[in-house]
Amino acid sequence: MGDVGAGHLAKTSVRAPSLATLAILESALSSLRIGNAAPAIDIGRRHASHQAQGRANKAKQGPGKRLGAKKTGGEYVVPGNILFKQRGTHWFPGDNCMMGRDHTIHAAQPGYVRYYRDPDRHPKRKYIGIVFEKEQQLPAPMNAVRRRKLGMLAYQIPATSVEEDVVNSTTTYTPSNAEKRSPRSPPSTTTIRAPTSEPRGTVAVQDALSGTATERKATLRPGYQYRQANWEIGRAAERSKAAMAVRTFTPGDRFAAWRKSAMRIAKNAERRQIGRGGKKGAKAKAKN
């Protein structure tokens, strides 16, 4: 069995291909590669699904902030109206205007809006102001009369002498016939005098030291009151007994300063001794 098997295998052994066969196979394979090219293998790459920086999911352009002028020149406004909204100080508040913390300019008084420049205040700044009259312009001339608020104007009282005031204020009262017939009729003539600031009457002032009352002249004060002056009332405390008992301070008195320091040290030592004795006495009582 062994010999038969070995001979069979020898007879059926595969022969090596020849060179011609190898050349034919190689040409066939090359034609297959050119005609049917195998597809390239695509390796997948994962790209970012969310933008790493910038504003990918935000609004591209937000709503406008409504900046700019809200009132035109010459327009009538009331206090609190917004005149100009801005980022930064492109315009500055002028007369009767104010600026908020976000640089918004508001009207502080009722009037008419004016946009102007004032080289005297600043050579480059632009201002927004309010005037009380429609014909008024800004900036106002130098040393010009300042316009009053609430529609008021400056008025100068005509100068008159004191004698004319006294003569004009002195009038004569003449009673009527019915008042003459009445039992309580006033006198026939009564003179009304103008109030003056001259001393009139006396005021009794009690001295704190002696206790005696002295009379002093009182003058007319605001509110039509005849009383002492404020400085006299304030200086009254200096004449009191408590004020006289205080020793006067002498600058540079080293002996007085040393004496006060020694008295303070002695009092502190005495206070400490009293405190220590109290503690010892309490401990002794507790033991007993």
Per residue in 17-65, pLDDT (tens digit) is 788 888 888 888 877 765 555 556 667 788 777 666 666 666 677 889 9
pLDDT at 256: 86
Quick: pLDDT tens for 234-273. 777 777 777 777 777 788 888 888 998 999 999 999 999 8
Distances (CA, A) of 147 to 112, 133, 134, 168: 13, 9, 13, 33
pLDDT at 172: 56
Residue 155 has pLDDT above 90, yes or no: no
Residue 130 has pLDDT above 90, yes or no: yes
Cα torsion at 161, 163, 169, 173 (round to 10°)? -160
pLDDT at 63: 86
Residue 183 has pLDDT above 70, yes or no: no
The whole-number average pLDDT for the span 186-203 is 55
pLDDT at 210: 66
Domain ranges across the chain: 68-131
pLDDT at 90: 96
pLDDT at 282: 55
Quick: pLDDT tens for 75-120. 999 999 999 999 999 999 999 999 999 999 999 999 999 999 999 9
pLDDT at 38: 57
Band of pLDDT at residue 178, cut at 50, 70 and 90? low
Give me the chain's average pLDDT, please: 76
**Residue where the block lists tokens 């695509």:** 42
In the chain, the percentage of residues whose pLDDT exceeds 90 is 30
**Residue where the block lists tokens 């016939």:** 177
Bridging pattern class, strands 126-131 and 92-93: parallel
Residue 154 has pLDDT above 70, yes or no: no
Fold of 68-131: OB fold (Dihydrolipoamide Acetyltransferase, E2P) (2.40.50)
- Top-confidence residue, 209 or 158: 158
In the chain, the percentage of residues whose pLDDT exceeds 70 is 59
pLDDT at 249: 76
The whole-number average pLDDT for the span 264-284 is 77
pLDDT at 261: 93
